[in-house]
Amino acid sequence: MSVNPLQRMLEKINEAGLWQGDILLKRNDYLKTEGTKDTRVYFIHQGSLRMFVAEEGEEHTIRFGYQGNLVAALDSFFSEKSSPLIIQALRKTRISFISKEMFSLFLNEDEENRNLWIQILQGLMVQQLEREVDLLTTSPAERYRRVFERSPHLFQKIPHRYIAAYLRMTPETLSRLQKS
Amino acid sequence: MSVNPLQRMLEKINEAGLWQGDILLKRNDYLKTEGTKDTRVYFIHQGSLRMFVAEEGEEHTIRFGYQGNLVAALDSFFSEKSSPLIIQALRKTRISFISKEMFSLFLNEDEENRNLWIQILQGLMVQQLEREVDLLTTSPAERYRRVFERSPHLFQKIPHRYIAAYLRMTPETLSRLQKS
């Protein structure tokens, strides 16, 4: 299939009018806080988000979301339990949401939707495996190269100090690697 | 659903007799080497495997597989391209395999199979997110605690020096944490 499965799924959710509400976040507002359950799926119309976990005063960045992305607190979404994940707006951000119940109805509705979801989950797994290798990669230059090749857009969308944290390097090291 | 979706899928593959062959590995034999494509799904009857990537002489352990597990080089399986993942036997290991083509036929065959696969993929995503948080966790004691709570069996099945590498600590540190 040549069509992006995520784009196709978004079109179908839009056409069916399944979005259940909108949320407007100001910069630094929290969409999800630590230890809460959140099983909604969000679509970002405008702005950007970061997802992170906090451990003994340190923040570990897990993932970013920006305009056009579908995001969710995947651990809580799948387990239906509370999770340590925190989601925060990096700038003024406008999102729509759909509940897990509604999303499940959408998946059960037709075969194509389930097949799209299988493709999306498989794509997420590949991303997670890439991220695991990123995190295990010792060289900062190599970590930068891997992420830049995979997600060049990230560098236009997300403030660089957050990308540096995601890459586990100082903003100065990131800046030096970008110039070299 | 209370039945483990992986167990249920295995039963159905067994009942349909879809396994296409067996492989017997000696300790240290490679099932997959770096830069190769491998889209087969493996079931471990006996023994254990580790999956790792090699980077500048360092080996980074990604995951283990042992008796009763279904394993695959997931990056290569999903992308259908060659991948850096290496799979090696940790002891004498007996596995069966099914090709991606056969597995896809199995998924397309009936609705339940696709739903089982969605549940398995979602479970894998939760595991990967847990692993990402593990890798970002600074404290060795906390990394040990997280993995021990999630996978107590691991410590009976896999030689401890490989678990130590997986936890990014020395075998001495792991041994100290296990006693405390």
Give every residue of chain B whose pLDDT is below 50, as ranges: 1
**Average confidence (pLDDT) over A13-37:** 97
**Average confidence (pLDDT) over A22-29:** 98
Average pLDDT in chain A: 93
Residue A77 has pLDDT above 70, yes or no: yes
> Rounded to the nearest 5°, which phi and psi values hold at B168?
50, 55
Residue A138 has pLDDT above 90, yes or no: no
Can you state the angle between helices A171-179 and A140-150, rounded to 10 degrees? 70
Q: How many CB pairs under 8 A join A and B?
A: 93
Do the Cβ atoms of A129 and B74 come within 8 Å? yes
**Average confidence (pLDDT) over A145-157:** 93
Do the Cβ atoms of B126 and A78 come within 8 Å? yes
* ipTM greater than 0.95: no
Query: Tell me: the pLDDT tens digits for A170-179?
Result: 999 999 999 9
Q: What is the pLDDT of residue B55?
A: 85
Q: What is the pLDDT of residue B113?
A: 94
Interface test with B, best of A103, A132, A137 (most B CBs within 10 A): A132
Which of A115, A124, A132 lies closest to B131 in CB terms? A132
Q: What is the pTM of this model?
A: 0.90
> Rounded to the nearest 5°, which phi and psi values hold at A154?
-45, -40
Which of A118, A128, A130 lies closest to B114 in CB terms? A118
Distance from CA of A68 to the nearest CA of B (A): 22
User: What is the separation of C-alpha B3 from the centre of its chain, rounded to a whole number of angstroms?
Assistant: 21
Q: What is the pLDDT of residue A1?
A: 44
CA distance B96 to B180: 40
Percentage helix, strand, coil, to 5, in chain A? 45, 25, 30
Domains and CATH numbers, chain B: 5-110 (2.60.120.10)
Residue A108 has pLDDT above 70, yes or no: yes
Strand partners for B61: B52
Report the SS3 class of residue B42.
Answer: strand
Do the Cβ atoms of A123 and B78 come within 8 Å? yes
